[in-house]
Every structure is written in structure tokens, then in C-alpha cells.
């Protein structure tokens, strides 16, 4: 018998976005977090989110996903070296008119 497990779209999007933040993945590994609650807690801590209470996993993933996207991190890799996360902030240059 085959069992299909469907995950909410926000959880899948969170997992995809997390791939763009290797420093957070490394932090979770260094913490030794095991289990969903510990992993999500470690990610929240790295994102400076204080958790106080009991959260629905889908709602928590949505909150973490929003913070990850706000982080605006660009990954730069050169010559197969270790990935280097670089935080960027987009700014608009002033018009030459003044």
C-alpha cells in the first residue's frame, strides 16, 4: 500500500527558501537540534525571533519564511569554494538632476 503525504505549500516554500541560507542550516547542525520543534526553534533564534508559547507548525513556518525573505541574502560562490553568504541592501541611486 502506498501512502501519500501532502504538506502545506508554506512548508515546502520554507524548505526551498532555507536552501538559500546556508549559514542558518550550518547553525542548526552546530546546535545539534533534533526533531521539528528544536530545528524550528534554532532557526527562529538565528533569525532573532523570540518564541513564547505553542505555535502551529504551519503558522510558524510561514512566520520564519517571511523573515528569511526579508533577510535579502545573496549567495556568492567562486571556483567551487565554500559558499559565502552576503547580505545586500538594494538602494536607488539619486537622479543626476539633483
Instruction: Give 82's DSSP letter.
Output: P
Average pLDDT over residues 11-26: 92
pLDDT digits (tens, 9 = 90+) for 62-85: 999 999 998 865 555 555 555 545
What is the average pLDDT value for the chain, to the nearest integer?
80
Contacts (Cβ under 8 Å, ≥6 apart) of 3: none
Please say whether the beta carbons of 27 and 47 come within 8 A: no
Residue 7: which pLDDT band, with cuts at 50, 70 and 90? confident
Dihedral sign for Cα 36, 42, 43, 49, please.
positive
Amino acid at each position: 500500500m502506498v501512502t501519500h503525504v501532502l504538506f502545506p505549500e508554506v512548508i515546502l516554500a520554507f524548505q526551498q527558501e532555507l536552501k538559500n541560507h546556508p549559514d542558518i542550516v550550518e547553525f542548526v547542525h552546530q546546535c545539534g537540534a533534533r526533531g521539528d520543534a528544536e530545528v524550528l526553534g534554532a532557526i527562529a533564534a538565528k533569525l532573532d525571533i523570540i518564541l513564547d508559547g505553542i505555535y502551529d507548525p504551519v503558522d510558524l513556518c510561514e512566520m520564519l519564511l517571511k523573515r528569511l525573505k526579508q533577510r535579502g541574502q545573496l549567495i556568492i560562490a567562486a571556483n567551487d569554494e565554500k559558499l559565502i553568504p552576503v547580505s545586500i541592501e538594494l538602494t536607488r541611486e539619486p537622479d543626476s538632476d539633483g
